Chains A and B, each alone.
Chain A
Amino acid sequence: MANVVSTFRTTESYRVFTRLLKRKTVAFGLAVLVFFILVAALAPLVAPYDPAKLSIANRLSAPGSTWFFGTDEFGRDVLSRTIYGARLSLLVGFAVVVLAAAIGIVMGLLAGFFQSLDTPIARLIDAMMAFPDILLAIALVAALGPSTTTVIVALSIVYAPRLARVVRASTLVIRELPYIEAARALGISTPHILIRHVARNLMSPVLVQGTFLFAQAMLAEAGLSFLGVGVSPEIPTWGTMIASGRQYVGQADWITFFPGVALVLAVLSLQLVGDGLRDFLDPRLRKDL
């Protein structure tokens, strides 16, 4: 174990990590993010009540010592629901980034590396990006039927072209570098060059873009659930909670307020981390760190 720790300490990732943490905003963003991940993972342990437990006698109770965040229209504890809401909100965001990255990297690599494929894929990316994200996502959900999986698939299709564009741009640059020519001269196969020598060097822009997309996906999921075309209203996510509390604005604002604050904090933390990563990985901005 000690050996593993000491090995990690000498790696490039560790150096990047410690330098990133020196920046207060990044440290704050990471701390908030880790907090949300822990809360989501440990939801059954940290939530004071069962998030689905109805208690009509206590409906719309204001925040106080019994219910820190108050109760909703069915007497369910808003704090417990906000804690459980973190699970699906984070999970959807993460799943979207992974799936969108998988599609986007393949599209971008093919377009950037093979000239014959560039025009058709680039045009397809242009056309996909002509749709506003929420609108394309609700059309896809409408076609495929609303469910958590559909939301993930729809948002991945919406965001994949954005990643593809970044990957394509970087691949176009990498393709012309001497070491790729050297790899070709050595007789290394094209798939091998693509995976081992091109894709590996794309990880920085993908990581930065992926962090921002994570934030976007969380906002979009909440938007879809709010509109009633996303995750089922019975499942607590920050979006469904805000949607259900909507009728009680002015009467029981806590129902919408707390999940909203949680969402803003989670999105903000991702943006801060993304900003930090971008500045760090962009050599022109690195001196600021």
Chain B
Amino acid sequence: MIRYIFSRIVGMIVVMFLVATIVFVILRATPGDPAAVMLGPEATPEDIASLRERLGLDRPLVVQYGYFLGQLMRGDLGQSIFLNQSVGSALLERAEPTFFLTLFSILIASAIALPIGIYSAYRRGSVFDQTASTIALLAASVPSFWLALVLMQIFAVRFGIFPVSGYGGPGASFGERLHHLMLPAITLGIVSSALIMRFTRASMLDVLGDDFIRTARAKGLIERKVVLKHALKNALIPILTVIGLTTAVLISGAVVTETVFGLPGVGNLVVSAVLRRDYPMIQGTLLVIAGLYVLINFAIDMLYLLVDPRVRY
């Protein structure tokens, strides 16, 4: 098992190295002079030259690449051009709304998807199952930003239950900040519940047909125990996988949702960085988010070991 974990860590490092290379290549693919693009049409040649020098763009590509990797090894993501602070600290400052948004969204998505998915599998082919499948398909077809606007119109503008946008201002209490997060979290929760629901249903269907379920029923166990204890426990691996992957995908959903609700999170940061062509900021955010995705994938694999004693690498 230690060998497996070790090989996974090596694989993870290789993927992270490739991720860094892809990020480097993407931002060097800009047609023309990146420094001129970043500073816009009003920049003087002196400004452009000084930025080129500051970012090391005047050196050969191989040297730039080596320097970039060296910086990364030291955990240095570089300096933002427009924010006057390092990319790392800008990301840290904005991590809170994104972290809680992702956390609540996944909780809401699981709270919707798990019971419905389990019951749908249990009552396969029933009206409930068909309705749930249709709603799941619909939820998967709805763009999150559009659902955000519809929910905002109903719950924030018309009924005033939730704030329309923002994160409560600088001095807002934790409770107030959470209140601002609820509507965005519900939006993302609904959109991402579809996939979890489909996986839960499929995974439960697989297990409910197994012999040990018949045995459990034959020995007179009550249905609730058969389904929630015996079946669910064995159906957990695919469900956990999809919840983990959804968490990673949610970070991407947060990009759009944060913009709609004006939440000062990482998503909002990256969108404004793109609009201002703040390349070091885009580069740093991409690296951190892709890194998180790789780590979450690794964590899910490790979780299998805890959840399922049959998994032995």
Does A249 touch B at the CB level, under 8 Å? yes
Contacting residues, chain B, for A250 (C-beta < 8 A): 153, 157-158
Contact B256 A134 (CB under 8 A): yes
For B29, B31, B150, the residue with the greatest tally of chain A CB atoms inside 10 Å of its CB is B150
What is the minimal beta-carbon distance from B20 to any residue of chain A, in angstroms?
9
Question: Within the complex, what minimum Cβ distance (angstroms) separates A70 from chain B?
Answer: 15
Query: Is B252's beta carbon under 8 Å from chain A?
Result: yes
Residues of B within 8 A of A130 (CB): 15, 19, 290-291, 293-294
Interface flags, B244-266, vs A, CB<8A=1, else 0 = 00001101110110011000000
Report, nearest first, the 3 A-B pairs whose CB atoms are least far apart.
A132-B252, A127-B18, A250-B157
Contacts A132-B251, A142-B277, A144-B30 given; does A226 touch B282 at CB 8 Å: no
Query: Which B13-42 residues have C-beta < 8 A from chain A?
Result: 14-15, 18-19, 21-23, 26-27, 29-31
Partner of B18, one of A123, A140, A257, A271: A123
Q: Are B153 and A253 in contact (CB under 8 A)?
A: yes
C-alpha spacing A275/B136, complex, angstroms: 13
Q: Which residue of B lies closest to A228 (CB)?
A: B275
User: Which of A132, A138, A144 is most buried by chain B, counting CB atoms within 10 A of its CB?
Assistant: A132
The contact string, 1 if C-beta is below 8 Å from chain B, for chain A 227-265, is: 111000000000000100010011001001100100110
Query: Interface size of B by Cβ–Cβ distance < 8 Å?
Result: 50
Q: A222 at the A/B interface (Cβ < 8 Å)?
A: yes
CB < 8 Å: which of B19, B149, B274, B293 contacts A138? Answer: B274
14 extra interface residue pairs, beta carbon distance < 8 Å, beyond A142-B274, A242-B145: A127-B15, A127-B21, A127-B290, A131-B286, A134-B252, A135-B252, A138-B271, A139-B23, A139-B27, A143-B29, A226-B256, A242-B149, A263-B146, A267-B141
* Smallest Cβ-Cβ distance to A128: which chain B residue: B22
Residue contact A229 to B271, C-beta cutoff 8 Å: yes
Does A193 lie at the interface of the complex (its beta carbon under 8 Å from any beta carbon of B)?
no
B274 x A139 contact (CB < 8 A): yes
Question: Which among B15, B251, B270, B274 is the interface contact of A126 at CB below 8 angstroms?
Answer: B15
- Interface positions of B from 210 to 264, Cβ below 8 Å from A: 248-249, 251-253, 255-256, 259-260
B282, A139: Cβ atoms closer than 8 Å: yes
Contact A271 B137 (CB under 8 A): yes
14 contacts between A and B (CB under 8 A): A123-B15, A132-B251, A133-B252, A135-B270, A138-B255, A139-B282, A141-B274, A142-B282, A143-B30, A144-B30, A219-B143, A222-B143, A222-B146, A272-B137
Contact call B255/A134, Cβ cutoff below 8 A: yes
Chain B: minimal CB distance from A277 (Å): 15
A145 touches B (CB below 8 Å): yes
Question: Which residues of chain B are within 8 angstroms of A155 by Cβ–Cβ distance?
Answer: none
